[in-house]
A and B are shown apart, each in its own frame.
Chain A
Amino acid sequence: MPHPTQSFVRNSLLSVIDATGYAAIGPHLEPVDLPRGTVLIEACKPFMHAHFFNSGIGSIVVSTVDSRRVEAGIFGREGLSGFGCLLGVDQCPQTTLVQVEGEGYRVSIEALRHACQQSASLRETLLRYVHVFISQTSYTALSNANQSIEGRLARWLLMCHDRVAGDDIALTHEFLSIMLAVQRPSVTTALHVIEGYGFIKTRRGHIAIKDRDALVDFADGMYGVPEAEYRRLIGPFG
């Protein structure tokens, strides 16, 4: 089966690596659809593949045994799932699932590890991405500990907006409440408040971003640093 050429792929990590790096990984990329809700990695179960997204959004979620959950991080075409395999592990305590449908490529963790041994460009780019992802989860911790629900929601909408095409985000309040680990009416109320400021426009199951700069200001410094790290260390983002 022919594999995608580097100029064709939209995943940013695969786009920025050098030609030798792409030659090491390209032949192992299998195109996959990523329907909403697909569990890519189950918590505490060995996983076999990493997924490079071309579109859509993946979510990394942690939960207690009695199903209290919070989202620890998100990624889209700037990242990949299953990067734990680069750190020498084949299972992890978080769940990785598709939050906004998309498509991308999957690669077996053996092939990815082998390609990383062959190409310093690939290995270093992916490890820098791991650093950026840790920065993102650090800011998520800061936001969760310090911000009002409205501020947390604003930050999260910006992170989603970075990863979708256009200004419309298709999400239910229920889903947002799980991601932010708040009661569902708290999401409804926070959206009402932010919409009252004119930063967004909501309709059932959809949120449209109307004034991104104002939303960044409203997020009060909690949004932007991991995104800047990505641009500094890897390449274009958002």
Chain B
Amino acid sequence: MSRFYLHQQIANGIIEDPDGTEAVDLTAAKHEAILAARQLLANAILAGVAPLGTAFQITDEAGHVLMTVPFADALPPRFITTY
């Protein structure tokens, strides 16, 4: 297990992940980012507002960016082309 941080890119900066999360590997951390992005998008859509975030930056404990997960990756492909 390693500790991964999911920092969220927003229009004018970053919402920092203060605590991080334990995950077996980067793939598992990416899965968590996808699930979180879906929930953040859904919460914004239900409220009728624009989502704050555009992507997650997954970093290690030293702060190195290991992967960027755009929120678009959390949507089914047909959703993107239709809406």
Task: For the complex formed, measure the closest distance between the CB of A151 and the CB atoms of chain B, giving whole angstroms.
Answer: 9
Q: Does A186 contact B (CB under 8 A)?
A: yes
- Known A-B contacts A148-B47, A193-B52; the reply to A188 vs B18 at CB < 8 A is yes
Question: B36 near A183 (CB under 8 angstroms)?
Answer: yes
Question: B36 near A186 (CB under 8 angstroms)?
Answer: yes
Question: A173 near B18 (CB under 8 angstroms)?
Answer: yes
**A contact residues, total (Cβ < 8 Å):** 17
Question: A186 near B39 (CB under 8 angstroms)?
Answer: yes
Question: A184 near B52 (CB under 8 angstroms)?
Answer: no
- Binary per-residue interface labels of chain A (169-185) against chain B in the complex, 1 for a CB within 8 Å, 0 otherwise: 00011100000001111
Task: For the complex formed, measure the closest distance between the CB of A183 and the CB atoms of chain B, giving whole angstroms.
Answer: 4
A-B contacts counted at CB < 8 A amount to 53
Note all chain A residues with C-beta closer than 8 A to B43.
148-150, 186
Cα distance, A229 to B33, chains bound together (Å)? 41
- Binary per-residue interface labels of chain B (24-47) against chain A in the complex, 1 for a CB within 8 Å, 0 otherwise: 000000001101100110010011
Cα distance, A172 to B21, chains bound together (Å)? 11
Cα distance, A148 to B43, chains bound together (Å)? 6
Note all chain B residues with C-beta closer than 8 A to A188.
8, 15-18
Contact of A185 among B17, B46, B47 (CB under 8 A): B17
**B contact residues, total (Cβ < 8 Å):** 20
Q: Does A192 contact B (CB under 8 A)?
A: yes
Question: A185 near B8 (CB under 8 angstroms)?
Answer: yes
Question: A182 near B39 (CB under 8 angstroms)?
Answer: yes
Note all chain B residues with C-beta closer than 8 A to A184.
6, 17, 19, 21, 32, 36
Q: Does A5 contact B (CB under 8 A)?
A: no
Contact of A183 among B15, B19, B32, B52 (CB under 8 A): B32
Note all chain A residues with C-beta closer than 8 A to B40.
183, 185-186, 189
Nearest-neighbor residue (CB-CB) of B35 within chain A: A183
Q: Does A232 contact B (CB under 8 A)?
A: no
Cα distance, A148 to B44, chains bound together (Å)? 8
Question: B52 near A185 (CB under 8 angstroms)?
Answer: no
A residues at B contact (CB < 8 Å): 148-150, 172-174, 182-186, 188-189, 192-193, 204-205
- Name 27 interchain pairs, CB-CB below 8 A, sorted by A: A148-B43, A148-B46, A148-B47, A149-B39, A173-B17, A183-B32, A183-B35, A183-B39, A183-B40, A184-B6, A184-B17, A184-B32, A185-B8, A185-B17, A185-B39, A185-B40, A186-B39, A188-B15, A188-B16, A189-B15, A189-B40, A189-B53, A192-B15, A193-B52, A204-B18, A205-B18, A205-B19
Given A174-B21, A184-B6: 7 more A-B contacts, CB < 8 Å: A148-B47, A182-B39, A183-B40, A184-B17, A185-B33, A186-B39, A204-B19
